[in-house]
Structure 1
Amino acid sequence: MGGPRSLVGRLAESFVDVIHEVDAEIGENRTYGAGIGPHDEDDQIDALVQAVREEGLFDGTIATAKGDAAAVRYPGGQAADLYLERDGRAEYCEAKLFRFQKANGNPYAQEFSKVFNPFQERNPRSFIHDVNKLAEADIRHPKTFLGLYYRPVEGAGTEITSQDIADKFAADVDLWTGYSISVDTIAHFDDLQHEVHQRGGILTWTLEDQPEQFF
């Protein structure tokens, strides 16, 4: 795989550059242990974006749903999770946490469903349906997707790589929706401090049938 084709792919690589710093500074999430892994999806993404900004690793605009809700909205009254702009190019991105074990190492079936369930259209909508939502939106900019995957270190899934998960999600989108996405970037991380959520990858995909007019 070559370099990132998307802005969010470049951002994913920057996330890996700062993730150990964020892991050390973010603090504990209630009783679930130290480090970034146990935190909620919006908190993880927002903390990584803030660190990327502070380090000056992305020469452009990044807005998150938590940090600037108005900036990620688009026509139709809906919103993306990330909005990126750089060198006259803009992208809207949906993001999801791929974390299938609880902090104690037990399976987390609800989190798996939030990613792969093709029937879960709302409350909360699965990532499969997030693809549909963004793909169908009247946005004249590229549409992209990002996943934060925590690869198990014990139990089921220890041999499932970031590439495996990225390919599986793309295949499931192709199977269950009228759209196709392509794997863009896989940026690996490891040696985080939480004993369960310590390794994985930042995954990105691009919608294959992008809008014809981007501006």
Structure 2
Amino acid sequence: MSSTRSLVGQLADSFVDVIQKVDAEIGENRTYGPGIGPHDEDDQIDSLVQAVTQRDLFDGLISTAKSDVSTVRYPGGQAADLYLEADEKSEYCEAKLFRFQKANGNPYAREFSKVFNPFQDRNPRSFIHDVNKLAAAEIQSTKSFLGMYYRPVEGAGTEITGEEIADKFAADVTHWTDHSIEVDNVVPFSGLQHEVHHRGAVLTWTLESGK
């Protein structure tokens, strides 16, 4: 996409600039193989943010739930996954892995449910309910959402692009909640070292005003 409305949409471009470096340096996650793909959500997001910060690719403040939980908290005692400040703007962002295959290539039904299940409103809360949570928060900052989508290389789902999965999630939010989100940025990546978690896209959305 040629332009973004959100700070996290800008950050998505920077994530793709550094993802191969992070992939090479992050190391293996237990027995699941090399690279960033097998790591959990907090480690992936925090490692990418650290790399972006080290290279001065984002002109502003970025805090993650792993690096500074006090900064990502907002009124009501809840917390987002990212907090961003730049250009006199502030933004709270929820993030989720869109990783629907296990490291061995088998389908990962639990991870699919953690994104799309409209009935999963308790821990682990689905991403649809993360939208509800942040949308209901009494904060004046922009509310945004980020997904790390790992597109299958083999098997079911190989044909599903980042744009398609981003549109699908936005449509599901509209269908299952009282809120609407708009696709903000979709930035493809490829060439990662894990044979299953090898390619994909960074996806971002923004909460539509008043919704």
Counterpart CA distance in 1 for 2:209 and 2:127 is: 18
Q: Which residue of 1 aligns with 2:14?
A: 14
Equivalent position SS for 1:37: coil
Q: Which residue of 1 aligns with 2:45?
A: 45
Report the CA distance between 1:146 and its aligned residue: 0.2
Report the CA distance between 1:2 and its aligned residue: 3.0
Counterpart CA distance in 2 for 1:152 and 1:73 is: 34
Q: Which residue of 1 aligns with 2:174?
A: 174
Q: Which residue of 1 aligns with 2:183?
A: 183
Measured on the aligned residues, the alpha-carbon RMSD in Å equals: 0.8
Report the CA distance between 1:134 and its aligned residue: 0.1
Report the CA distance between 1:122 and its aligned residue: 1.0
Counterpart CA distance in 2 for 1:139 and 1:13 is: 26
Unaligned runs of 5+ in 1: none
Q: Which residue of 2 aligns with 1:55?
A: 55
Q: Verify the 8 A CA contact 1:142 1:210 in the aligned structure 2.
A: no
Report the CA distance between 1:210 and its aligned residue: 5.0
The TM-score normalised by the length of structure 2 is: 0.99
Q: Which residue of 2 aligns with 1:104?
A: 104
How does 1:25-174 map onto structure 2 within 5 Å? 25-174=25-174
Report the CA distance between 1:87 and its aligned residue: 1.5
AA at the equivalent of 1:43:
D
AA at the equivalent of 1:49:
V
Counterpart CA distance in 1 for 2:137 and 2:77 is: 10
State, as a whole percentage, how many aligned pairs show the same letter. Answer: 75
Equivalent position SS for 1:56: coil
1:140-182 deviation per Cα after TM superposition (whole angstroms, max 9, x unaligned): 1110000000000001000000001000000000000000000
Counterpart CA distance in 1 for 2:16 and 2:69 is: 24
1:63-111 deviation per Cα after TM superposition (whole angstroms, max 9, x unaligned): 0001100000000000000000002100000000000000000000000
1:93-141 deviation per Cα after TM superposition (whole angstroms, max 9, x unaligned): 0000000000000000000000000000011000000000000000111
Equivalent position SS for 1:145: strand
Report the CA distance between 1:209 and its aligned residue: 2.0
Counterpart CA distance in 1 for 2:5 and 2:73 is: 23
Report the CA distance between 1:184 and its aligned residue: 0.3
Counterpart CA distance in 2 for 1:67 and 1:140 is: 23
Equivalent position SS for 1:168: helix
Greater than 6 Å deviation, 4+ residue runs: none
Unaligned runs of 5+ in 2: none
Counterpart CA distance in 2 for 1:18 and 1:136 is: 33
- Identify which range, 201-210 or 146-155, moves more after superposition: 201-210
Counterpart CA distance in 2 for 1:167 and 1:116 is: 13
AA at the equivalent of 1:200:
G
Counterpart CA distance in 2 for 1:183 and 1:26 is: 29
Counterpart CA distance in 1 for 2:22 and 2:157 is: 25
AA at the equivalent of 2:61:
T
Q: Verify the 8 A CA contact 1:143 1:210 in the aligned structure 2.
A: no
CA 1:210–1:92 in structure 2 vs 1: closer, same or farther (change >3 Å)?
farther
